[in-house]
Amino acid sequence: MDCGCRTSYIGPSLANTCGGNSFVLFMTLLDTFIRRTCDLAQLCERVVPKAAPDLEYDFIVIGAGSGGATAAGRLAEVAHWKVLLLEAGGDEPPGSQVPSMVTNFVENPYMDWLYKTVPQEKACLGYPEKRCEWPRGKVLGGCSVINGMMYMRGTPRDYDNWAVAGNTGWSYNEVLPYFKKSEDNLEIGTVADPDYHARAAGKQAGYSITEDMNGAHFSGFTIAQATVRNGSRLSSARAFVRPHRHNSNFHVMLNSTATRIVLSDTNGKKIAQGVEFIYKQKKYYVKARKEVILAGGAINSPQLLLLSGIGPKEDLDRVGVHQMHHLQGVGKNLHNHVTFYMSYALNKVKDINDLNWADALEYILYRDGPMSCTGLSQATARINSKYAEASGLNPDLQIFFVGYLANCASSGAVNAYVNPKNPHTPKSITISAVVLHPKSRGYITLNSSDPLEKPLLNPNYLADPQDVAVLVNGIRVIQKLTNTSVFQNKYGAKFEKEEYGDCDKLKYDSDEFWECAVRYYTGPENHQAGSCKMGPSTDHLAVVNPELEVHGVSNLRIMDASVMPTVVSGNTHATIVMIAEKGIEHVKKRWLGISLHDRSRSRSAHGRSNKAIASNAALHNPLSNGGPEYYVGEYPHHASYSFPQGRKPTFYYYY
Ligand SMILES: Cc1cc2nc3c(=O)[nH]c(=O)nc-3n(C[C@H](O)[C@H](O)[C@H](O)COP(=O)(O)OP(=O)(O)OC[C@H]3O[C@@H](n4cnc5c(N)ncnc54)[C@H](O)[C@@H]3O)c2cc1C
């Protein structure tokens, strides 16, 4: 089908994402259908990247991920501001917009930075070189293009703690309007299916069920809300960048890697002047008339500050980077949720492939069926471990489920066995427990002064014994869940024990055994945070102030996961979008003299609005200013979804 515009091929194809020649035929055909379904692939709605930048912009945003795409889109609303968005990766392939293909593009070099931690002393011990893998999106939309699409705010306590630490304006009540600003929740007023099995097991195990984890009842088992629209992924690029594709004030450069933020130093007063970047092996310098907004994510933002001479002198001297500005905290306070995966064979369920031609047709025609969702991982839980505060206001464990994913097929035949040579192979699912308040802290530092070389990433996983204790308690929660009659009678769930090295010498299933096992097969979560922490100037590790300005450097702010002083109790994307929304309000206040509460004045005086979307969003969001709105809803067909037939999960990096 011709979509009516000249489009270039945006790779890679789904055919390259399933690992193995047997998948090529079916997945190539499916990819072709997806690319030719105009409203799904949205090839005509893509931004057309610039082949070369102008010399000057009012704002330069570095990185187009959850934070950067949001920030850039909001800046571009101001018609008289000229904005450049720099992104190291290319555009999102059509296939990554299909929810069930959620894991297909992770570890694909086209759009993943393919990071690994340095060898760990107390964790990741069972992996090659004792290093854990850290997927990170290198694509327009950043990690929001490869993430699990779960839309989950932190708990009120998370943000209140940020405020107590001196971050004025960041308490829950104060950040709530910024969550709402980008949200267009089409699930308001609807009730999910209470019989959904993972939730039913949670209920049977004594936990509560919550219909809206982002509302008053933020604990319990739930079917997660998701960043999807009409059955396809709504990355931050699709939500915030594409609506501005016709704006002449907004330039996007793809495959463009920022290598340095250039500072001037006049009598000790440091000011961000512009950005150097590499595009097609050529080096460019662009000047920022107003501000540089850094949004490279929790790994690349501290890396770029260090490359620009902003950081601790000892770190910079070690690799020969001239120090421009001392900031002790750059790259410090790195932390991440940590988890442990437990696979269960469902002995009463045959391992039938979840993806077939019928599903593909249902999806292409109606955006429904198994391809429109992420299978079992729609369910999640936020609960207390035995160490959590009894009030229930500060839950410290999250439970994830993986399985029944319609993501890869070789023949496309309906009811095809995943393993035709052994049709009795049971289906398998994975459940993991996540430590929500990790105490271990690590750091990011440069490996060399080469901006294209990966930095050294040391999360110091499980350095704090309390993280291990909470994780082991999480394992006990999973055991309790899978022992319920829901899991036993209908599915015959049985733990698939792996080999855990020397841990196997310990008494199986003792606490000591699991303490050892979690250090062996540590689950690296994908919620890295804190490496450019927000805090008042009295905090010696603070890198940005509560207005997200880098301490001691004018015209430079950071808006991504790195600024979280402590990672929130849940998935991180929603919070990062909120951070960017709030950060841009500070920018608008500085340069236009307006704030969130003056939105109507802003729109008429300066704004450009996407009216079609705004009218929809305004129904739910009185604070909407008419800009592009971010849709949050549940996957479309969950209500009739209960453990459909499917394929063994092969992938764990999911949330
Ligand atoms: C596999 C996976 C699953 C996840 N699942 C979920 C989930 O279900 N729900 C959820 O809420 N969260 C999830 N997360 C976490 C969440 O997606 C991330 O925390 C969030 O997207 C990070 O946003 P960010 O803006 O900080 O960085 P990113 O989204 O990583 O954006 C940074 C961007 O900057 C670009 N960049 C970096 N350096 C440069 C440079 N020098 N020059 C130019 N561009 C540069 C990068 O290419 C990238 O596009 C998941 C993450 C992963 C990896």
Kindly list the domain boundaries of the chain, sorted by start residue: 54-602+610-646
Cβ–ligand 1 distance for 292 under 6 Å, the answer no
Angle at the Cα of 34 from the Cα atoms of 32 and 40, rounded to 5 degrees: 150
- Per-residue pLDDT at 15: 92
**Ligand 1 geometric centre to CA of 390 (Å):** 33
**137 ligand 1 Cβ < 6 A:** yes
**C-beta of 522 in contact with ligand 1 (< 6 A):** no
pLDDT of residue 186: 67
* Atom of ligand 1 at shortest range from CA of 149: 8
Distance 574 CA to ligand 1 centre (A): 11
What mean pLDDT do residues 41-58 have? 95
Q: Distance from the CA of 142 to the center of ligand 1, in angstroms? A: 4
Counting ligand 1 atoms within 8 A of each CB, the residue from 47, 85, 110, 143 with the most, and so the one to mutate, is: 143
Pocket test for ligand 1, best of 526, 558, 577 (most atoms within 8 A of CB): 526
Give the SS3 label for residue 321. coil
Q: Who's near 594: CB < 8 A, 6+ residues apart? A: 588, 601, 602, 605
> Among candidates 96, 68, 50, which has minimal Cα distance to 241?
68
Considering the chain, what is the average pLDDT of its residues?
Answer: 89
Cα 584 to Cα 73, 122, 291, 588, 608: the distances in Å are 10, 40, 11, 6, 15
Residues 6+ apart with CB under 8 A from 469: 387
- Is the Cα dihedral 560, 46, 611, 619 positive or negative? negative
Neighbouring residues of 605: CB distance < 8 A, sequence distance ≥ 6: 592, 594
State residue 606's pLDDT score: 29
Closest CA to 487 of 643, 601, 273, 634: 643
pLDDT above 80 (res 607)? no
| Residue 527 near ligand 1, beta carbon < 6 Å | yes
Tell whether the model's pLDDT for residue 442 goes beyond 50. Answer: yes
Q: Residue 1 has what pLDDT?
A: 60
More confident residue, 561 or 1: 561
| For the CA of 256, the nearest atom of ligand 1 | 43
Q: How far is the CA of 166 from the centre of ligand 1 (A)?
A: 26
Q: Which residue has the tokens 């993280």?
A: 467
Q: List the one residue out of 221, 214, 210, 149 whose CA is nearest residue 176.
A: 214
Better pLDDT: 617 or 572:
572
Cα–Cα distance between 68 and 262 in angstroms, integer? 19
Instruction: State pLDDT tens for residues 330-376.
Output: 999 999 999 999 999 999 999 999 999 999 999 999 999 999 999 99
Residue 24 confidence (pLDDT) = 94
Q: Which two tokens stand for residue 122?
A: 């107390």
d(CA 240, CA 297): 17
In terms of Cα–Cα distance, which of 527, 520, 524 is closest to 130?
Answer: 520
pLDDT digits (tens, 9 = 90+) for 102-120: 999 999 999 999 999 999 9
Model pLDDT, residue 4: 80
More confident of the two residues 45 and 197: 45
pLDDT band of 594, cuts 50, 70, 90: confident
Secondary structure (3-state) at 315: helix
Check whether 139 is labelled as a binding-site residue.
Answer: yes
If you average pLDDT over residues 571-585, what whole number do you get? 98
Model ipTM?
1.00
The confidence score (pLDDT) of residue 5 equals 80
Does the pLDDT value for residue 523 go beyond 80? Answer: yes
The amino acid at residue 336 is: N
Weakest mean pLDDT among 497-501, 547-551, 621-625: 621-625
Tell whether ligand 1 has an atom less than 6 A from the beta carbon of residue 455. Answer: no
Q: Whose CA is nearest to atom 41 of ligand 1?
A: 258
Number of the ligand 1 atom closest to the C-alpha atom of 63: 34
The Cα–Cα gap between 339 and 325 comes to 37
| Closest atom of ligand 1 relative to the 573 alpha carbon | 11
- Collapsing DSSP states into helix, strand and coil, what is residue 481? helix
Least confident of 288-302, 566-580, 613-627: 613-627
pLDDT band at 595 (very low <50, low <70, confident <90, very high): low
Residue 614 has pLDDT above 80, yes or no: no
- The per-residue pLDDT for range 250-260, each reduced to its tens digit, is 999 999 999 99
Higher pLDDT, 19 or 643: 19
pLDDT above 70: residue 619: no
> What CA–CA distance (Å, rounded) separates 643 from 247?
45
Average pLDDT over residues 280-285: 97
| Residues forming a β-bridge with 273 | none
Give the predicted TM-score (pTM) of the model: 0.92
- First and final C-alpha spacing in the chain: 34
pLDDT score of 191:
40
The response to whether residue 60 sits with its C-beta less than 6 Å from ligand 1 reads no
- Closest ligand 1 atom to residue 224 Cα is 8
Residue 647 has pLDDT above 50, yes or no: no
pLDDT digits (tens, 9 = 90+) for 169-227: 999 999 999 999 988 766 654 444 445 456 778 888 888 888 889 989 999 999 999 99
Q: Say if CB 58 and CB 5 are below 8 A apart.
A: no
Q: Is the CB of 577 under 6 A from ligand 1?
A: no
Maximum Cα interatomic distance, the chain, rounded to a whole number of Å = 75
Which pLDDT belongs to residue 184? 75
Atom nearest to 86 CA in ligand 1 = 43
Does the pLDDT at position 63 exceed 70? Answer: yes
Average pLDDT over residues 543-559: 98
The pLDDT value recorded for residue 20 is: 81
Ligand 1 centroid from CA 236, angstroms: 10
Catalytic residue annotation: 527
Q: How many helices (H) and strands (E) does the chain have?
A: 16, 25
Looking at the domain covering 54-602+610-646, what would its CATH class be?
Answer: alpha beta
* d(CA 526, ligand 1 centre) in Å: 9
Q: How many whole angstroms from 91 Cα to the centroid of ligand 1? A: 14
Confirm or reject: Cβ of 67 under 6 Å from ligand 1: yes
CA 194 to chain centre: 27
Q: Is 135 in the pocket of ligand 1 (CB under 6 A)?
A: yes
253 lines ligand 1 (CB under 6 A): no
Closest C-alpha among 479, 500, 484 to residue 432: 479
How does pLDDT run across 293-314, given as a tens digit for each residue? Answer: 999 999 999 999 999 999 999 9
The reported pLDDT for the residue numbered 188 is 56
Neighbours of 188 (CB within 10 A): 13
Alpha carbons 298 and 158: distance in angstroms, whole number: 18
